[in-house]
Amino acid sequence: MTSRSIERLTQSNKVNKVFIDGCWSAPLNSRRIAVINPATEESVAEVALGGEADVELALLSARKAFPAWSVTPVSERAAIIERIHRLVLDRTEAFAQALTLEMGAPITYARTAQVPLAAEHLRAARENLLSYQFETRRGDITIMREPIGVCALITPWNWPLYQITAKVGPALATGCTMVLKPSELSPLSALLFAEIVEEAGVPAGVFNLVNGDGATVGSALASHPEVDMISITGSTRAGVLVAQAAAPTVKRVAQELGGKSPNLVLPDADLERAIPLGVGACFRNLGQSCSAPTRMLVPRDRLTEVEDLAAEAAGQFVVGDPTRVETTHGPIANRGQYERVGHMIDLGIAEGARLVCGGPGRPEGLDRGFFVRPTVFSDVETSMTIAREEIFGPVLSIIPYDDVDQAVMIANDSVYGLGAHIQGRDPALLREVAGRLRSGQVHVNNPAWSPHAPFGGYKRSGNGREYGIEGLEEYLETKSILGLN
């Protein structure tokens, strides 16, 4: 598959450009990177990478644009966000094709999840903007919430468009200006998004895009004194590096990082419903989600039943060519992650976990591409590597427990605390367990996703929140004024 939108980006030479101050221009160095189709292991495009000089120009542009944009009326900002939202939906197919090419998202999943959920962040940002009180009174004190300033936005390769809109939406809404650095492994959807920003009429300098790697562009943004706030979604390792680089300039750092989310199946749960949904949630986006519930905690006396249901659910997946509409799971997004997932499956076997289904190697009939077999381990001990480290692939660990107190202890026995799931029937017990979990978000009985639910982590899963009002407020400073009538 060759996407017409990618052909157009190539023919217009935008793959060789950065977007700064409302203009497409060549970066000030000659570095390039191949964008690899993970299903074929072949290059689909080459993209120019920016450098420190490009970061300087982008930040200069953002700083220059900030005074005017920060005081733009709410109605104007809302209208621009609405136009961007509409354009994303209008170009769903172009984005879907790009996502399939650059990170292997199955085309049906890209059309029905990756793109529409990304659009929802824009809709939610507009709604929150229109209802938000930027000025309130507390007795004789006036409290104002003002845009923090110039923001650096660093987004990952696993949900490329979705994470862009989750940051750009509230940044635009609050009156901030920004420089976006998408992952160099999945940059094509970001270039398409920059085209939409331009078409929607965002003023020059408000939104800037510089493709580049973390060591160069990411580091330059994190350490730069002209950046007032940095928002990163990525690995915990990347978040630590950004925070260290940001510390000398005392800028705000919002981090959405790694996870090892538990799925606590209570003794009274309906297993025939809970287990297939839990397997599906774990393997959504091929397990390449930081909040994926990769640890399934189940009553020990029902372990065999759980294993049978999990194997049956995993067996329903269609792994293969992501361009085919019937494919449910495509390849791992890039070679580095593919090799890590394979290594972790090997470690699970070596450390004594019992393989229920899947295992090493590609699925049958696939001799190239970064494809892995959906894998379920059981009798996993909490000390095993697969129970403790983020794998970021389709690997589920089933961990038995003896009572609910032990299950909660196991669920919290992690350096991470991003997401958690609970399955059960007793509302009082569900509420009690949800309150005991050290996690930024808890899903009870597989509820629908909402762009208004604050998302972020405890512990090493990060700082700050995205989505909802709380995500909007990450981009605001608080000012108190005393003495005004």
Helix (H) or strand (E) holding 377: strand 373-378
Q: At residue 46, what is the residue type?
A: E
Provide the 3-class DSSP secondary structure of residue 72: coil
Angle between helices 404-412 and 427-436 (to 10 degrees): 30
Rounded CA separation 53/51 (Å)? 5
CA–CA–CA angle 355, 361, 366 (5° rounding): 130
Q: C-alpha distances in angstroms, 142 versus 67, 71, 478?
A: 22, 18, 10
Told to judge if 23 belongs to the known catalytic residues of this protein, a careful annotator would answer: no
Rounded CA separation 372/335 (Å)? 12
Q: How far is CA 230 from the centre of its chain?
A: 15
Q: How many CB atoms lie within 10 A of CB 143?
A: 14
Lookup: tokens for 108: 């049906």
**What order of strands is seen across the sheet that includes strand 141-147?**
135-138, 141-147, 476-482
Residue 437, φ and ψ in degrees, nearest 5: -80, 130
Told to judge if 256 belongs to the known catalytic residues of this protein, a careful annotator would answer: yes
Which one of the listed residues 290, 357, 466, 473 is annotated catalytic? 290
Which one of the listed residues 195, 256, 466, 473 is annotated catalytic? 256
Rounded CA separation 446/422 (Å)? 8
- Is the sign of the CA dihedral 413, 419, 422, 427 positive or negative? positive
Lookup: tokens for 439: 């996690």
Rounded CA separation 375/165 (Å)? 31
Rounded CA separation 433/1 (Å)? 47
Q: At residue 191, what is the residue type?
A: L
Residue closest to 472 by CA, chosen among 48, 176, 41, 265? 176
Q: Where are the beta strands (DSSP E) in 162-271?
A: 177-181, 207-209, 229-233, 252-256, 262-265
Lookup: tokens for 308: 């049978």
Contacts of 211 (CB under 8 A, 6+ apart): 18, 27, 47, 48, 49, 50, 181, 182, 184, 187, 190, 191, 217
Lookup: tokens for 165: 């809109």
Strand partners, 138: 141
Active site residues: 256, 290
